[in-house]
């Protein structure tokens, strides 16, 4: 059997599905008698729930008019949304009505000559999956099954797979996103900054953003607080190769050369130390290894940084002094998507150290100490102990990875080392767009005996699956309780506000049924999820009925700043803020960050940068018709002078060719003054190649497809993705 | 008599389009159309740039050309707050109003009538803010009575620098942008 060609990328669409067993597909206006009986004939119901258009999980109130979903607004009781959702949350209605949704479980049969899916019953789907899982377990052990998941919806599937006996569960949010940042902060302060971030943006008097494009990156609480800070007259300093929305609010915009942020950070710290502007008392009290740190900064002068970064020495000094003037209410934002160049954990550590010099960790306007509600976990039976350690990071190759590395699981799946991985579950993450180098992902998939994809729409990854399980969207389901670390403790409930339009099911139901099919039913002692909620909430001294009615229950607010008595403790080996890191030194890394040049694009080529739009989340909302009406394809931002030289005009289509000769789908040019001439930029998530995503199929280009090269962070295994270079090729025919 | 207007703080606005989405769901605006939109006004050359971001829509002008040119009386000034509205039953879809509006605020609904922002008069008459104002995560939008000197909109206009769009068109727009 040829392992590489046996599996074809199957586009799930109505035309390729053969109905194996009954049940007509329901239109959005169809209702079953059971549904109709539940619905009021007329009037508006307002039902509290939480949003899941992104992982921020804002408290929301959905309005259902005459039984049909009408609109979604923020829940005023919710500390995250403060009663106002972001555009994606407001547009969440489009997720429910999306005509391209998956409706029934699908199995790709073994007769692979036919590009056809069979709709099956849920029981058939679980029986098929369980049989395959038992076979994998018998041949390779339970650890040979891995899970990739994103968001709170995956909690119960994790539970089932832990019960099955595998430790291999990862989310792209670590090695493809915030991982380096969290590692950098852990190495420095002994803690990471969490999600939602513990950044006190609204009280910052000086806010420094390094490539972080708040306002385009639409994490609701952060953007609300950003507007508060700007409205309060905070000094905003933005370093970005692109004149972002945030740059438009900045007093100082630093058009930094891509890949040189660490040089700028070192020069800023040099100025603070050399001019004695840092918080001496704070550093003396909480710092470890400051003298060694200061000595190593000596050569990183603004004059040294100038040719690297393109930022003039007087600007570097002026902005460093501005930061010092407002300390400790100066927040150097650590960003979120931090996987850029492969030295990202060290860059993030430099951000942490700069904050440490300013005394902002623990201070108002800096990093607060978050609180959470004490809601005990459900008392499940103990999981079986896996016979082998996690597969992703053999011999602790990446010694400071504190979460599982997705790309490590992928590599093990390709190589079979340290042991084979033969089954993947993929929940709510479009791996082909989330991981760099899609060919490696496809190669890994070819080695699998089982690929199960759980999604709401027929995404690219679903096209590669053996079994596709259609999940109900967040407006139609319960998920696990949301207990966040935030400014004040709270617990929030996601609950259905409308019925799903087909046979879609929530993750908790799938995970429980799968466990039962696997003979692991005793890991689900509860009958349904409401019984589970009631049990956990009762244990926390709360009432489920009250949560159900309000959507949010808030705990008592406690002090969040050191000045108000919150003790500053650091879980580092020294128990202090590690300006100099012996644990890095012992592992063979720079104990104080050092800048090293990154490869630059060859003449005629541009560095490919990518980012976010406020109206889309990753590659999962482009088919939402409401949000598609806000933005239905991405553009390639090209510096206006460069565009003139290349004879390209805004609105014309080009294709991008990268250093490995990969050619993108066509994408519209945006010729603009808002970007440097040495890079181009696009919003992530477009250029879908799955035909079942009818509305968004082949609209715009996919940055992921062009990220064939990535630079792995030696500290924690993150995949730096801003290391790809592209040229622009005009489309012969203009549309 | 009240005279409704909107004051939008371009300093706080990040152009996220929540106002556009909220209008769409609140008013069931058809796919492919929007009653409001975001304008990015960029001046200068890289890297010395200025950018004003504006949430734009019908200006509910005091001197509305769309009302003046409407042959059927469908476009009219509403009794409450002087809001400019379209009576869909009277509208014949002739597009005179679409052509007359200097702000491009109107479109023809696929069902054949002119459509545009109503200031969410159905909400305002219930004591609520228009949908766009009520959802804005940056709190950059304010709605109220311009003739009431104590209203939030009047106070903001009295204390902050502001401008309107195309004052030279003589339409006397009632949406003001704080700068």
pLDDT at A21 over 80: no
| Chain B hits for A249, Cβ within 8 Å | 11
Q: Are A627 and A72 in contact (CB under 8 A)?
A: no
DSSP state letter for A697: B
User: What is the Cβ-side half-sphere exposure of residue A598, based on CA atoms within 13 angstroms?
Assistant: 23
Which residue carries 């609180």 as its tokens?
A371
pLDDT at A25 over 70: no
Q: How far apart (Å, rounded) are the C-alpha atoms in residues A94 and A632?
A: 13
Q: Are A97 and A30 in contact (CB under 8 A)?
A: no
Q: Please tell me the distance in Å from A71's CA to the nearest CA on chain B.
A: 6
Residue B14 has its nearest CB partner, among A245, A625, A676, at A245
Residue A70 has its nearest CB partner, among B11, B18, B25, at B25
- Nearest residue in chain B measured CA to CA from A256: B47
Q: How far apart (Å, rounded) are the C-alpha atoms in residues B80 and B127?
A: 12
pLDDT at A28 over 50: no
- The full length of chain A comes to 735
Considering chain A, what percentage of its residues have pLDDT values greater than 70?
93
A-B C-beta contacts closer than 8 Å: 123
Note the pLDDT of residue A42: 83
Query: How sure is the predictor about A40, in pLDDT bands with cuts at 50, 70 and 90?
Result: low
Residue A215 has its nearest CB partner, among B16, B33, B134, at B16
Cα end-to-end span (Å), chain B: 29
Q: What is the CATH number of the domain that holds B55?
A: 3.30.70.20
Which residue carries 């100490």 as its tokens?
A369
Note the pLDDT of residue A317: 98
pLDDT at A382 over 50: yes
Note the pLDDT of residue A115: 54
HEC readout, A441-482: HHHHHHCCCEEEEEECCCCCCHHHCCEEEEECCHHHCCCCCE
Q: Are strands A59-65 and A68-74 parallel, antiparallel or unpaired?
A: antiparallel
Cross-chain residue pair A615–B22, CB shorter than 8 Å: no
Residue B109's domain comprises: 4-178
Note the pLDDT of residue A117: 87
Residues 6+ apart with CB under 8 A from A310: A255, A256, A257, A260
What are the residue ranges in chain B where pLDDT is below 50?
A: none
Note the pLDDT of residue A3: 36
pLDDT at A10 over 60: no
Note the pLDDT of residue A556: 94
What is the maximum span of chain A, computed from C-alpha positions, in angstroms? 77
Q: How far apart (Å, rounded) are the C-alpha atoms in residues A102 and A504?
A: 8
Cross-chain residue pair A93–B25, CB shorter than 8 Å: yes
| Chain A hits for B50, Cβ within 8 Å | 248
Domains contained in chain A, CATH given: 181-369 (3.40.228.10), 606-730 (2.40.40.20)
Query: What is the gyration radius of the CA atoms in chain A, in angstroms?
Result: 26
Query: Is residue B129 less than 8 Å (CB to CB) from chain A?
Result: no
Residue A446, classified by CB atoms within 10 Å of its CB into exposed (0-12), middle (13-18) or buried (19+), is middle
Note the pLDDT of residue A29: 40
* Mean pLDDT value across residues A52-59: 97
Of A677, A602, A689, A688, the residue nearest A637 (C-alpha) = A677
Of B173, B151, B161, B50, the residue nearest B102 (C-alpha) = B173
CA distances from A384 to A140, A159, A268, A448, A520 (A): 16, 12, 50, 24, 11
Note the pLDDT of residue A2: 37
pLDDT at A7 over 90: no
- Nearest residue in chain A measured CA to CA from B133: A84
pLDDT at A137 over 80: yes
- Computed over every residue of chain A, the mean pLDDT equals 94
Note the pLDDT of residue A116: 75
Q: Please tell me the distance in Å from B69's CA to the nearest CA on chain A.
A: 30
HEC readout, A613-627: CCCCCCCCCCCCHHH
Note the pLDDT of residue A4: 35
Q: What is the pLDDT of residues A545-583, one digit of tens each?
A: 999 999 999 999 999 999 999 999 999 999 999 999 999
Q: What is the pLDDT of residues A63-106, one digit of tens each?
A: 999 999 999 999 999 999 999 999 999 999 999 999 999 999 99
* Mean pLDDT value across residues A229-255: 98
Note the pLDDT of residue A109: 77
Q: How far apart (Å, rounded) are the C-alpha atoms in residues A607 and A609?
A: 6
Domain count for chain B, please give it: 1
């Amino acid at each position: 059997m040829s392992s590489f060609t046996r599996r074809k990328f199957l586009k799930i669409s109505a035309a390729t599905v053969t109905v194996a067993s009954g049940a007509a597909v329901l239109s959005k206006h169809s209702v079953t008698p059971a549904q109709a009986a539940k619905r009021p004939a007329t009037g508006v119901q307002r039902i509290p729930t939480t949003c899941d258009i992104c992982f921020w999980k804002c408290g929301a109130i959905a309005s259902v008019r005459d039984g049909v979903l009408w609109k979604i607004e923020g829940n005023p009781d919710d500390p995250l949304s403060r009663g106002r959702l972001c555009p994606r949350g407001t547009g969440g209605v489009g997720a429910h009505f999306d005509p391209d949704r998956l409706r029934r479980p699908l199995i790709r049969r073994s007769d692979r000559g036919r590009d056809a899916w069979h709709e099956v019953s849920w029981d058939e789907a679980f029986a098929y999956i369980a049989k395959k899982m038992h076979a994998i377990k018998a041949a390779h052990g339970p650890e040979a099954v891995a899970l990739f998941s994103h968001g709170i919806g995956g909690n119960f599937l994790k539970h089932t797979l832990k019960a099955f006996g595998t430790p291999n569960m990862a989310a792209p949010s670590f090695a493809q996103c915030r991982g380096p940042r969290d590692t950098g902060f852990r190495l420095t302060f002994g803690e990471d900054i969490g999600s939602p971030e513990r950044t006190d943006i609204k009280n910052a008097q000086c806010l420094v953003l390094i490539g972080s494009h708040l306002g385009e990156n639409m994490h609701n609480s952060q953007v609300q607080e950003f507007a508060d800070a700007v409205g309060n007259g905070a000094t905003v300093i933005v370093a970005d190769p692109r004149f972002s929305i945030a740059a438009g609010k900045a007093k100082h915009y630093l058009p930094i050369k891509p890949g040189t942020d660490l040089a700028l950070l070192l020069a800023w710290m040099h100025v603070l130390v050399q001019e004695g502007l840092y918080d001496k008392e704070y550093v003396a009290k909480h710092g470890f290894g400051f003298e060694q740190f200061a000595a190593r900064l000596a050569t990183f002068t603004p004059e040294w940084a100038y040719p690297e970064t393109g930022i003039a020495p007087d600007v570097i000094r002026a902005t460093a002094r501005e930061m010092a003037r407002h300390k400790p209410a100066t927040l150097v934002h650590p960003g979120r998507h931090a996987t850029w160049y492969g030295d990202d954990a060290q860059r993030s550590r430099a951000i942490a150290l700069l904050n440490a010099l300013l005394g902002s960790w623990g201070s108002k306007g800096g990093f607060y100490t978050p609180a959470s509600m004490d809601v005990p976990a459900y008392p499940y039976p103990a999981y079986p102990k896996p016979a082998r350690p996690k597969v992703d990071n053999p011999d602790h190759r990446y010694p400071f990875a504190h979460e599982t590395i997705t790309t490590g699981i992928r590599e093990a799946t390709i190589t079979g080392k340290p042991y084979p991985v033969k089954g993947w579950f993929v929940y709510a993450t479009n791996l082909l767009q989330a991981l760099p180098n899609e060919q490696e992902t496809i190669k890994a998939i070819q080695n699998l005996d089982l690929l199960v994809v759980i999604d709401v729409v027929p995404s690219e990854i679903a096209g590669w699956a053996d079994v596709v399980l259609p999940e109900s969207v967040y407006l139609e389901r319960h998920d696990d309780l949301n207990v966040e670390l935030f400014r004040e403790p709270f617990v929030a409930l996601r609950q259905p506000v409308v019925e799903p339009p087909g046979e879609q099911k929530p993750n908790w139901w799938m995970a429980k049924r799968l466990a039962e099919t696997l003979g692991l039913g005793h890991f689900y002692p509860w009958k349904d999820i409401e019984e589970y909620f009631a049990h956990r909430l009762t244990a926390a001294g709360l009432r489920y009925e009250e949560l159900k009615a309000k959507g949010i229950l808030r705990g008592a607010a406690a002090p969040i700043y050191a000045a108000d008595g919150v003790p500053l403790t650091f879980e580092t080996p020294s128990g202090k803020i590690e300006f100099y890191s012996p644990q890095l030194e012992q592992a063979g890394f720079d104990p104080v960050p050092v800048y090293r040049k990154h490869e630059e694009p060859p003449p005629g080529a541009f560095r490919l940068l990518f980012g976010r739009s406020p109206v889309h989340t990753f590659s999962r909302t482009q088919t939402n018709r409401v949000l598609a009406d806000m933005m239905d394809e991405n553009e390639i931002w090209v510096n206006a002078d460069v565009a003139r030289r290349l004879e390209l005009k805004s609105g014309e289509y080009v294709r991008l060719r990268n250093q490995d000769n990969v050619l993108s789908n066509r994408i519209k040019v945006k010729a603009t003054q808002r970007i440097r001439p040495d890079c181009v930029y696009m919003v992530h998530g477009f250029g879908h190649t799955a035909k079942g995503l009818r509305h968004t199929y082949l609209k715009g280009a996919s940055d992921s497809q062009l990220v064939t090269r990535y630079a792995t962070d030696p500290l924690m295994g993150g995949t730096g993705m801003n290391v790809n270079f592209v040229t622009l090729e005009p489309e012969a025919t203009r549309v | 008599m009240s005279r409704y207007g909107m004051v939008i703080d371009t300093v706080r606005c990040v152009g996220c389009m929540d106002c556009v989405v909220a209008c769409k769901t609140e008013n069931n605006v058809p796919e492919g159309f929007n009653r409001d939109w975001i304008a990015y006004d960029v001046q200068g050359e890289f890297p010395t740039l200025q950018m004003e971001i504006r949430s734009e829509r019908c200006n509910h002008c005091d001197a509305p050309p769309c009302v003046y040119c409407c042959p059927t009386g469908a476009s009219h000034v509403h009794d409450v707050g002087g809001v400019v509205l379209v009576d869909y039953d009277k509208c014949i879809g002739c597009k005179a109003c679409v052509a007359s509006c200097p702000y491009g605020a109107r479109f023809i609904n696929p069902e054949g009538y002119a459509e545009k922002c109503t200031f969410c008069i159905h909400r305002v008459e219930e004591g609520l803010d228009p949908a766009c104002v009520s959802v804005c995560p940056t709190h950059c939008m304010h709605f109220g009575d311009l003739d009431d000197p104590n209203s939030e909109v009047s106070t903001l206009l009295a204390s902050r620098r502001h401008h309107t769009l195309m004052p030279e068109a003589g339409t006397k727009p009632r949406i003001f942008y704080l700068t």
